[in-house]
Amino acid sequence: MWNYQNRPSGRFFYAGFFLHLPKINRKRGIFMPAVKLGESVRQELARLLRRIENDIAPQENINKLWQLCEQEQITFEYLQGFMAECLLKYQYTLERLAASVQTAEKGQPDPGKIAFILCVNDDSMFREAALYLQHLNIPAGMEAEIIPVRGAASMCHGYEQGRQASNARYKIYLHQDVLVIRKNIVHELLSLFQDAQVGLIGLAGCEKLPDSGIWWDGGGVHNVIAHALDYEHMIAVAGTVPCCEVQAADGVFLATQYDIPWRADWFKGWHFYDISLCQEYRKKGYKVMLPRQEESWIIHQTSHTHAQEDYYDQQEIFLQHYYPFC
């Protein structure tokens, strides 16, 4: 069953977070002054927030944070100001808390649901991509939805907005200029995801990232993606991609079965967002895989590309945070 959604464009909207957090203290009102907190409470608050900020058992510490807020009657206004003073990555931590609240409101991820998430700035291309998605074979009993995100400031911001908008366990992030031609691709992805250690699946990538972080210069490069250079010319890559674990997968098509936030706090452009996500999954102990492909599963219409001027800036950010690679 298909569910087509029109999502709000542009920036993140934290209405759910702003409205939900004060529920722990609703009797006192949303913006009433907080009670004076003792030193030990402030220390514990800072300790929990810094753990969340730095991905130290984030969900466990988010739960402890909400318990502390309820116990000490901490308002959102106080918490927001406290975060701004004590955190280096205020925006990232705020987004983590927002995502946690939205997940709680939606309940557990729905294993009977798959979401296709696309950043869109060309409606003609998107409509064609959506048409191909709507003709895929979806397993009986599963629901599929298409989530276009318009006006995104970056790939990470757009994909993170789409991630937070869906309670699907299985999420596929793909470019708006991708036509999925493998009718049973969902079945094949779900088969790989039967291994609980597989967190992310791509269609092209490398087994060993080079020091530059540029995956196509790495070792064990696998790629049979077909490229349509324009309306009349196609490049088809011969060969077979084995089913294998990789260090990096290209962002043209990425499928996940667990939710890990995109690093929108680090990557503000259109490059290295994908290799970053691979490293995030691997840091948490999940495998990044490529399925066996004897021919291309997608057509990538490569005539529309983002500007390259921020490429090396994004590369530097990637290497700063992830080198040496895991």
pLDDT by residue (tens digit) across 171-230? 999 999 999 999 999 999 999 999 999 999 999 999 999 988 888 888 888 888 888 876
Q: Are 130 and 146 in contact (CB under 8 A)?
A: yes
pLDDT at 281 over 50: yes
- Domain segments of the chain: what residues? 16-105, 109-322
Q: Give the pLDDT confidence of 37-73 residue by residue, as tens digits.
A: 888 999 999 999 999 999 887 778 888 898 888 888 8
Nearest to residue 86, comparing CAs of 42, 36, 56, 37? 42
Q: Dump pLDDT digits (tens) for 6-25.
A: 433 322 223 334 333 433 33
**CATH code, residues 109-322:** 3.90.550.10
Model pTM score: 0.69
Pairing of strands 287-290, 244-245: antiparallel
Work out the number of other CB atoms within 10 angstroms of the CB of residue 105.
12
Whether the Cβ atoms of residue 117 and residue 166 lie closer than 8 Å to each other: yes
Residue 30 has pLDDT above 50, yes or no: no
